[in-house]
Amino acid sequence: MTINDYLKGLLTSQDLTTQQESDLQKHKDEITKFLRAEFGEAPVIKYAGSREKGTMIRDNYDLDVVCYFPSSDTRSLKEIRDDVSARLGERYVLEPKASAERIRDLKGATAPASYHIDVVPGRFIEGTKDVFLHVQYGDRERMQTNLKTHIDFIVNSGCVDVIRLMKLWICRNNLTFKTFVLELFVVQALSGFAKKGDLKAAVIKVFEEMEENLESTQLVDPANTNNIVSRVVSATDKSLLADAASDALSTIDGSDDLSKWKSVFGEGGNRGVPGVLPYVTPAPAAIVNPSGPWAA
């Protein structure tokens, strides 16, 4: 088996099962039905996040649902968000995020233990498909962005497979990093790289870029260059990921040794990152019933 065959096999193993896909649709339908009952037909309610970008992995996934109100809604962004939060809170256990309300008590799905749904309230900007989101933390109370631009940017990047592999590597090495920032970093790391389709070469290239440039790279929202998305990741998380990438490169050592690659991706009882407990594939978790922009 070549390294590329192994990496392709990893990708296949991370496709959601038919049942998991069905569960996602069921929960999306449930949330949509609830929001429709509360707000009528006014808001646009749809999938967002990794589900729409094609970057979802079975080891660690969740669901992002946007709830965008029309530009004619005269309420402030905070009032819109507070209203959505209050109504969701009547039925669900919520955890507020920067620009999303995270639903924690989901039932009836076979999914990772961390599975949740992020509901992202917002309001369209008149004459555009851009939206304003209320931001709960930081130095700004609102953020302008565009969901479709995010999705198109990632889908058309030619980097979806590599992004999924890097998400899996992060998950299996117990690291923390915001998904949209990772996606943008991978796209930038492989910009102009002629071998995006060569998974082995592309993964090594991303590891090299992480080791050398992750901590200093500035990444901007493709829908609004005023949003510097790399700022939402702490210096500590950047440093840890850069160090982990360095360890992964040292383990691989430019070789075609399959056992070394398996070690990096948490298989075979070894780790690519020294000092971290061996990865154990999580058993499917029972989740209790009733996503988000990059800063959620």
Q: Enumerate domains of the chain plus CATH numbers.
A: 3-12+154-264 (1.10.1410.40), 16-147+284-288 (3.30.460.10)
| Mean pLDDT across 228-243 | 94
Q: Which of helix, strand or coil describes residue 34?
A: helix
Contacts 24+ apart (CB under 8 A), 87-92: 87/35, 87/38, 88/34, 88/119, 91/34, 91/290, 92/290
Q: Is the pLDDT of residue 91 over 70?
A: yes
Q: Is the pLDDT of residue 136 over 50?
A: yes
More confident residue, 280 or 13: 13
Cα separation of 38 and 41, whole Å? 9
Give 178-205 as a DSSP string. -HHHHHHHHHHHTTT-TTTT-HHHHHHH
Q: Which DSSP symbol is given to 60?
A: B
Q: What is the pLDDT of residue 141?
A: 87
What rounded mean pLDDT belongs to the chain? 88
More confident residue, 50 or 293: 50
Q: What is the pLDDT of residue 145?
A: 94
Report the helix count and the strand count for the chain, using DSSP H and E. 10, 11
Q: What is the pLDDT of residue 116?
A: 86
Tokens read off for 105 = 């008590």
pLDDT digits 0-9 by tens, 10-37: 999 999 999 989 988 898 999 999 999 9
pLDDT classification of 107: cutoffs 50, 70, 90 = low
Q: What is the percent of the chain where pLDDT is above 90? A: 73
Q: Which stretch of DSSP H or E encloses residue 272?
A: none
Question: From the centroid of its chain, how far is CA 22?
Answer: 20
Distances (CA, A) of 223 to 29, 97, 144: 28, 21, 8
Q: What is the pLDDT of residue 109?
A: 59
| Mean pLDDT across 90-101 | 90
